[in-house]
Structure 1
Amino acid sequence: MPIIDVYASADLFPAGTDRQLAEALTQAVLRAEGVATPSPVHLDNTAAYIHRLPPEAVHTARAGGARTVRIQVLTPPGVLDRAGQKRLVAEATEIVAKVSGDPSQAARTWVLLTEAAEGGWGIAGTAFGREEFAALAAKTS
């Protein structure tokens, strides 16, 4: 049950595309985790936050108002193997380029994969680690 944050200039994605972006990224993350058929628990708890920033708030060393995108995906411990990492970075980059309508956007899209510490993932008042995730998965199967 990952958390996805997308940071981009407010005008980078066309108006009305936030849901499309969030849904496509959510499905990409679940595929990368190996979730072939997401359960309601996966779908209800995989969250995507689209942060549309004022253009003057996005900078690179070269310029202000930069057309970069930062996607940060926070996952529970150990859910992405190396193949999943590669797949997710490639798919997320492709999704951003497609939704933005600019194929060159891929070269300016950063994908950061962050793994929560064991027990450092909480929802519904429970600090989840491998044991709690295994119990949850067994309950929803």
Structure 2
Amino acid sequence: MPISIQLSQGLLTPQGEREVFPLIADALLRAHGLDGNAFMTPNVIGHVTVSPESASYAGGRPQSLAVVEVKVPATTFPDASVKQAFVGEVTDIIDRLKASPHPRERTFVNVTYALDGAWGIGGKAYTNEELGAAIQQAATG
């Protein structure tokens, strides 16, 4: 599950820039009860991109910005409570790691769903059913 984290320079501490991805990856897996799953854990991938604040815009003006985008299979985030828990935890992570004043209102979390059968890992396109089976197999051993 790719995670893209886009941050304004100086928004997080240098240590926070190193910690933010693993913390958000853990939150994603935990929200779905998949922390430690041998199939999913190595497939949570992504990037942290830090841009000058002058290149980060909110309301048409340059200012600090945190954007976290997660691309997931269509079966992920099955109900509103899971979505809310994840969005809230990601926003809390940014708040804990920030180096300067940054309002919660400028932390955005976006989830994009892949179409069934369009989720590829290692050259194999998985259907939602195949992904579920791989996750279950990894959980049982």
Larger mean CA deviation between 90-99 and 26-35 belongs to 26-35
Q: TM-score, normalised by structure 2?
A: 0.87
Displacement of 1:30? 0.9
Q: 1:133 maps to what in 2? A: 131
Q: How many aligned positions are there?
A: 138
Fraction of identical pairs, as percent: 24
Q: What residue identity is the alignment partner of 2:125?
A: A
Matched, 1:8 2:12: no
Larger mean CA deviation between 70-79 and 131-140 belongs to 131-140
Q: 1:45 maps to what in 2? A: 43
Deviations 1:65-106 (A, max 9, x none): x11111101111112122110101100000011111457532
Q: 1:109 maps to what in 2? A: 107
More strand by share: 2
Equivalent residues in 2 for 1:35-114 (5 A)? 35=34, 37-64=35-62, 66-81=63-78, 82-102=80-100, 104-114=102-112
Structure 1 pair 31–123 and aligned structure 2 pair: CA distance change class (3 A) = same
Q: TM-score, normalised by structure 1?
A: 0.87
Q: What residue identity is the alignment partner of 1:27?
A: D
Larger mean CA deviation between 15-24 and 112-121 belongs to 15-24
Deviations 1:99-124 (A, max 9, x none): 11457532210110111111121111
1:86 and 1:137 mapped to 2: Cα distance?
Answer: 23
Q: Secondary structure at the match of 2:39?
A: helix
Unaligned runs of 5+ in 1: none
2:3 and 2:38 mapped to 1: Cα distance?
Answer: 18
Larger mean CA deviation between 49-58 and 37-46 belongs to 37-46
2:15 and 2:77 mapped to 1: Cα distance?
Answer: 30
Displacement of 1:58? 0.8
Unaligned runs of 5+ in 2: none
